[in-house]
Chains A and B, each alone.
Chain A
Amino acid sequence: MHCGWAGNVTDNKIKYWALNVFCALVLAVLLGAHMGLMHLPGLLGQINPAWKDPLAWAHVSERGRSAAITGGYVLLLGLALFHGLYGVHTMFTEFFSGERAARRIAAGCWIAGIALFVIGAFSSVIFHISVPRT
């Protein structure tokens, strides 16, 4: 029988949870805009013709030239990775108990998160710097 409650548990996990909820709130706004622009182009294109084909190279590079959008992408990526991996971490710590499992789950989440963040943020920033300006 596990006695997780019998030990002297002092960590405050509520602050990570609060951070996660905060991320979700910001995501609802940022990701809402992102998903709207990317998945409802037919609809939003009625409002602004520039939104008709967001995946065309011209629009992709135009967005890449904007420092604000590039910054927004990096922020969005960080928030989504923290939020998503926090969720997966929660699920795994529910399904697998024990100190060793907990350490492995945390390590896996950190590695995945850092790797994806580095790839995504690095490519966004380099793209912003290197994309041809007209």
Chain B
Amino acid sequence: MPRTNEIIFSIRRLYPAVDAVPHTQRFPVELHPGMTVLEGLLQIRESQDASLAWRFSCRMGVCGSCAMIVNGHPRLACNTQIQDVSREEVRLAPLANYPVIKDLVANLDTLFEQHAALAPYIARSDSAELIAPGGEFRQTPAQLTRFLQFSGCIKCGACMAACPTVASDTRFFGPMPLTAAHRYNADNRDDGFATRKRHMRQRHAAEHCHYAGECSRVCPKGVDPARALQLLRRELLLDWLGLRRRQALAMVQPASDDQPPSQRRVQTPPPFTVQR
């Protein structure tokens, strides 16, 4: 039998439609080894207070909805074991730097507006190709590595709650949206740098990062937004100096059915994709 004991969850509660100021409510939670903060919250909602509000969905660090401040650090509730945080008290608050909708639910509208403004998708200028694709674009493993790390972002917003510039600059784009921008800039299939540029090189964007490094410290997915921002700034500088070069992009013609198999071009998959 696993040893069970009790731990206190101190939760900052606020329902702006009713309360003017937040208050802290303490809930005892029965602790099992390996239990996550999210499981503690579920236990409270099932057995103590059904009105407690927070976001979650996947329960496994994939969807990015459960980020909150756990004992002072922005973390994913589902990805944080209670024993790693404290033996006595788990203090929970909504993500900092964003308005509160209710209890642990922060309003992240601005985050997603900023994200959308930076065209976070592969943007291409050859519309003919988009309508009638001539083949597939080839990407070398090295080209994939240039953005793979930054594509792991789950948009949880933990980095935005940790960043001291986001805390003081209400217009700052912040680590998550700018990392998303760099993820696409660094992709050799992308043409969107010029579109994103008008936001990326304005005052409240890349320029306001001072490398405090808090974003990379709290990111639950190892995305390293602080690195992405420096690489982004370098690209912007090279672009201004007229030295930014587009990465090579090779298109592979699709094999046609009436070619004998011996004449079809065989592609070897990069070593870290699934081998069939």
Contact residues of A with B, CB < 8 Å? 1-6, 8-15, 17-18, 90, 93-95, 97
Contact = CB atoms under 8 A, between A and B. Distances in A.
Interface of B: 109-110, 113-114, 117, 165, 168-173, 198-199, 201-204, 206-208, 233, 236-237, 240
A93 B207 CA distance: 12
Given A14-B207, A14-B237, A9 B198 contact: yes
Nearest to A94: B169
B237 A9 contact: no
26 contacts: A2-B170, A5-B114, A5-B171, A5-B204, A6-B113, A6-B117, A9-B198, A11-B202, A11-B203, A12-B240, A13-B201, A13-B207, A14-B201, A14-B233, A14-B236, A15-B240, A18-B240, A90-B207, A90-B208, A93-B169, A93-B204, A94-B165, A94-B169, A94-B208, A97-B169, A97-B170
Given A10-B198, A93-B203, A94-B169, A5 B240 contact: no
B237 A18 contact: yes
A131 B170 CA distance: 52
Given A13-B201, A97-B170, A5 B207 contact: no
The 3 closest A-B pairs by CB, nearest first: A4-B171, A94-B169, A9-B202
A11 B240 CA distance: 12
B237 A4 contact: no
A109 to B, nearest CB: 13
A133 B205 CA distance: 53
A14 B113 CA distance: 23
Nearest to B172: A94
A132 B215 CA distance: 59
Contacts of A12: 201, 240
Contact of A5 (B109, B113, B236): B113
B240 A13 contact: no
